[in-house]
Structure 1
């Protein structure tokens, strides 16, 4: 079994992205009231959005699903059972809230796990999002999977009323393709073998209340090695989704959270519109209930290209869904956040100001995302910094101390849940 935490494949770890974000945060928060950043513009709430294709979007859920409803914890019931549609998102009160832990919880000590999940509960989160890498549970082909480490995560989440969104990815070395066997981001050599592993996992955890699954993480960049390939990804998506539904007919399945921008200058990247369009043409959109998306802003969220790409740009996610005949499919923001670039580049005296700016950025991200049609969730990346990966987005710093943004998110969520 794997004995160390694995890199979380998110484009925002790139140095270039950190520079852009630093500039964007500084611009966004300048001149604003710390309690209410009035300097920002704000896109109007939209019950119906018209895109440049001429199609009209009515926000709602994916086929046979209700992403706004929490699944029952008993097997045989779940989010796909109701068949109802969501209302258009127009305020934070409509969002489902989640916290990203990458691949950390599986390897935490009991005390660390309890603390991490207690924090999610304190924050008012509805979900935790965790990597569920195949390599963590089946290191050898001739041994059955050992799910004991994840059992503890699920039991802890259930005890606190937290739902689990598991991102299934990362085959063990023995199951990877020869062309990329040295990286965890390598697709499986045989999709059917991967699907068999997934089916075993879903059968085990659907009986324990886990009904939410995301198929891969950021497959539109090189987190799908060696190069992103929507047709290739679709083959895996269709095969794995069928396995999930065979084990849990009421599972809620997300297309792997798409990166919003290039991971670094010149790096391979397929824009979300193009990736979704290609997956839809290959028949993959019929296999899922929603789209995962990771719109880390490149400045003020109201004008950030990564946010506008949801529904406000000519080639938006909404445009792609309209053209694919799925205008009501929900968009789950399964990652977003704000880095502290001074911890990468310095100077040290900018760390505290940037942490204050991170607070304002969190408010703006919630405000803007909740105004867009089809957006169903807000997941903050991440719970704690990962200094080796240059990821300083955490609600906790690398030393475990809390950042101011922890209290900010707690208040945002509390206020949202009090709203009528």
Structure 2
């Protein structure tokens, strides 16, 4: 090979082999700088510019203990270890949060947007997505449903959001063995249909007499005692609300909008939702049983896995999915659901790209679906608490970025959590997840609401 060709080939290889994450300097280099408050890992890169503050080779946007002090970010009052409390720190995780800059960027892939205008910059002309591409979780839409419908539903429809992800609680439907009460869900399904909103039910939360939980255990959700019983519950719902459902024939006054996708369980890779011991094999066994039941009633239904989040409170999505594949899950779901919480849009994309790569390696052509993601505007010292301006930009940039990459990822859609801020749970305590709403508790729109509605008008087919 001529020397010039070898040089060109070497240059090209260099471009393609640049790692997505640059590891910290080697040990010799690290010793050349002393560790300090401004340089936690002693790599000669100030924390404000360091994409791995504690030098553990986990990028900040994916590191649940950013400064390496053995305190999870959500409970760390000083997440970057600079001895300035988050509440007074203009740089609580490496860059300014409530000034002109915010977030922690993954290197090189996406520039962090500072304004909502920047968040949508570069969107291809003519890019369109289905209305149901963006969904929300809106607990009040079910809780407040009455004869006239839920007050939230018209506003959700007017925003351009086309899908609601809602738990269809087994516990709240089967009140006693064999006694089913669909009244609340009938009203909810009718209300959504009248507004032209699709539904993604989460099949979840067995009643005590159907659960494998020990007697008196209420702190965690346990899997059902019988997969067959859970599958029967799923089949009953499909037979009621699916394409040939009895609900539609009994209610000719309601526009026909059958439910075509069903999500099986919630976050089984976390201890809290699988009896303290996540078990991918057991979840796969349940998924396969429920998949057969759903598709026996609606052969073209989309069966969606439970959303898998990144968390140290259980198995990682990659490890959990690998175990699912080994247990024979491939072919028993039409969409893999992920809850890819990250501090930036770029971090979300990085998670999805890695999971798509894992699916491709398994020769699995199933779709992906982001079924939960969100950031807070106020209320806590968490790294997910961005302030209203940054919140609007991050939310908008994430939806825009995923819309741009939907085709290559085979991404079905994105569900934002949540529609409205929530009060502190009875007996609970405040945390960032209660402040992720597009609306405040009193219904006042946040900047993210206005930014998203504008984006959705631009993307609407």
Whether TM-score is above 0.5 comes out as: yes
Q: Which residue of 2 aligns with 1:130?
A: 166
Q: Please give the secondary structure, in 2, of the residue aligned with 1:253.
A: strand
TM-aligned CA distance change 1:104 to 1:284, over 3 Å: farther
TM-aligned CA distance change 1:38 to 1:192, over 3 Å: closer
Structure 1 residues 157-200: Cα deviation after superposition (integer angstroms, max 9, x where no partner): 11111111101111011111144842462100111111111111
Q: Please give the secondary structure, in 1, of the residue aligned with 2:176.
A: coil
Q: 1:358 aligns with which of 391, 414, 423?
A: 391
After TM superposition, list the pairs within 5 Å mapping 1:408-419 onto structure 2.
408-417=451-460
Q: Which residue of 2 aligns with 1:296?
A: 341
Cα separation, 2, equivalents of 1:413 and 1:25? 29
Cα separation, 1, equivalents of 2:395 and 2:99? 11
Q: Which residue of 2 aligns with 1:319?
A: 357
Cα separation, 2, equivalents of 1:157 and 1:250? 21
Q: 2:100 aligns with which of 30, 35, 39?
A: 30
Cα separation, 1, equivalents of 2:147 and 2:436? 22
Q: Which residue of 1 aligns with 2:370?
A: 333
TM-score for the superposition, normalised by structure 1: 0.73
Given that 1:297 and 1:307 are in contact with CA atoms closer than 8 Å, whether structure 2 keeps it comes out as: no
Q: Which residue of 2 aligns with 1:108?
A: 144
Q: 1:387 aligns with which of 409, 417, 423?
A: 423
Q: Which residue of 2 aligns with 1:404?
A: 447
Structure 1 residues 141-163: Cα deviation after superposition (integer angstroms, max 9, x where no partner): 2x421111100111011111111
Q: RCO higher in 1 or 2 (8 Å CA, sep ≥ 6)?
A: 1
TM-score for the superposition, normalised by structure 2: 0.67
Unaligned 5+ residue runs, structure 1?
1-11, 46-89
1:284 aligned onto 2:311 = no
Q: 2:402 aligns with which of 369, 377, 398?
A: 369
Cα separation, 2, equivalents of 1:18 and 1:35? 29
Q: Which residue of 2 aligns with 1:120?
A: 156
Q: Which residue of 2 aligns with 1:307?
A: 349
Q: Please give the secondary structure, in 2, of the residue aligned with 1:219.
A: coil
Cα separation, 2, equivalents of 1:290 and 1:397? 32
TM-aligned CA distance change 1:383 to 1:331, over 3 Å: same
After TM superposition, list the pairs within 5 Å mapping 1:43-122 onto structure 2.
93=129, 96-101=132-137, 103-110=139-146, 113-122=149-158
Cα separation, 2, equivalents of 1:294 and 1:401? 26
| CA shift for structure 1 position 103 | 4.5
Q: Which residue of 2 aligns with 1:217?
A: 266
After TM superposition, list the pairs within 5 Å mapping 1:124-273 onto structure 2.
124-141=160-177, 143-179=178-214, 181-183=217-219, 185-206=221-242, 207=245, 208=248, 209-222=258-271, 223-262=273-312, 267=313, 269-273=314-318
Cα separation, 2, equivalents of 1:39 and 1:200? 43
Instruction: Work out the number of aligned pairs and report it.
Output: 340
| CA shift for structure 1 position 102 | 5.6
Cα separation, 2, equivalents of 1:115 and 1:368? 31
TM-aligned CA distance change 1:140 to 1:24, over 3 Å: farther
Q: Please give the secondary structure, in 1, of the residue aligned with 2:419.
A: coil
| CA shift for structure 1 position 105 | 3.2
Q: Which has the larger radius of gyration?
A: 2
Cα separation, 2, equivalents of 1:366 and 1:98? 8
Q: Which residue of 1 aligns with 2:110?
A: none
Given that 1:330 and 1:374 are in contact with CA atoms closer than 8 Å, whether structure 2 keeps it comes out as: yes
TM-aligned CA distance change 1:335 to 1:178, over 3 Å: closer
Cα separation, 1, equivalents of 2:460 and 2:195? 17
Q: Please give the secondary structure, in 2, of the residue aligned with 1:114.
A: coil
Q: Please give the secondary structure, in 2, of the residue aligned with 1:186.
A: coil
Moved over 6 A (4+): 18-22
Cα separation, 2, equivalents of 1:26 and 1:204? 51
User: C-alpha root-mean-square deviation of aligned residues, in Å?
Assistant: 3.2
Unaligned 5+ residue runs, structure 2?
1-63, 65-70, 80-85, 87-91, 102-112, 249-257, 426-430
Q: Please give the secondary structure, in 1, of the residue aligned with 2:442.
A: coil
TM-aligned CA distance change 1:101 to 1:301, over 3 Å: closer
